[in-house]
Amino acid sequence: MTPPEGPDKSAARIRSMFGSIAPRYDLLNRLLSGGNDVVWRRRAARLLDPRPGERILDLCSGTGDLALAVSRRTRGEARVTAADFTLEMLALGRRKFAARGARIPEAGADGLRLPFPDGSFQAVTAAFGVRNFEDLDRGLREVCRVLSPGGRFLVLEFTPRPTGPLAPALSFYLDRVLPRIGRAVSRDGSAYSYLPDSMSRWPDPAALAARLRGAGFADVAWRPLTFGLAALHLATKGASG
């Protein structure tokens, strides 16, 4: 049962959940999103518009798909680092980077206490990651800290619930169908119930934009993706950040 205050987002629980689903994580992403996750990451990389030579941190990088998409946009000329605190996910990313000939170093790092000095990166990206933070505001402030002045933060996340005429069908899929497929394929009893549960308790895009401003970001803009199922936020480190 889910406690009233929401799913357990302690570092130990999140790490063990992603450690357990890591081997089937990519397969389930493609299957459960109908391939949309690939398109969303590509759009995220295009919106970020990375430049050759830029230092970019892909936080909550998992198996590294967004790090790769960002690196590819600069033909490998941006200096992308992939960071995550689940070593099983990072290990799969490492193999993927090697197989694709991408030079993307990895860092085992907790997003709530990043092992980087202030102003280390010109951009930070996070896909489907910050929703798992035990303390979202602390994590957002930490991202702001490691960005250089004017640095960009790109967040790709689900929204609490899809909107529009397809919303009932999509909600049925998220609440009833997705957890069953996820459980059968990942063989993890709860990880894919955690997904719709954590989504439904997540701030909507306007509220997330407000949290980003509260953490020191300015010029926060967002756009919905695929019937409002997900959203892309792009924010710039403000003068007070």
Ligand X SMILES: C[S@@+](CC[C@H](N)C(=O)[O-])C[C@H]1O[C@@H](n2cnc3c(N)ncnc32)[C@H](O)[C@@H]1O
Angle at 31 between CA 227 and CA 129, to 5 degrees: 65
Task: Give the residue with the Cβ less far from ligand X, 89 or 174.
Answer: 89
Q: Tell me which residue has its CB nearest to ligand X.
A: 62
Task: Give the residue with the Cβ less far from ligand X, 54 or 84.
Answer: 84
Task: Give the residue with the Cβ less far from ligand X, 37 or 54.
Answer: 37
State the nearest-atom distance from the C-beta of 58 to ligand X, in Å. 7
- Burial class of residue 238 (count of CB atoms within 10 Å of its CB; 0-12, 13-18, 19+): middle
State the nearest-atom distance from the C-beta of 202 to ligand X, in Å. 13
Task: Give the residue with the Cβ less far from ligand X, 42 or 166.
Answer: 42
**DSSP string for 133-167:** -SSHHHHHHHHHHHEEEEEEEEEEEE-SS--STTH
State the nearest-atom distance from the C-beta of 126 to ligand X, in Å. 7
Distance CA 127, CA 56 (A): 14
8 A C-beta contact, residue 63 and residue 36: no
State the nearest-atom distance from the C-beta of 93 to ligand X, in Å. 9
State the nearest-atom distance from the C-beta of 72 to ligand X, in Å. 14
**DSSP string for 21-46:** HHHHHHHHHHHHHTTHHHHHHHHHHH
Task: Give the residue with the Cβ less far from ligand X, 160 or 238.
Answer: 160
β-strand partners of 124: 57, 153
* Chain contacts with ligand X (rule: CB under 6 A): 14, 18, 60-62, 65-66, 84-86, 89, 110-112, 127-129, 132-133
Distance CA 3, CA 177 (A): 22
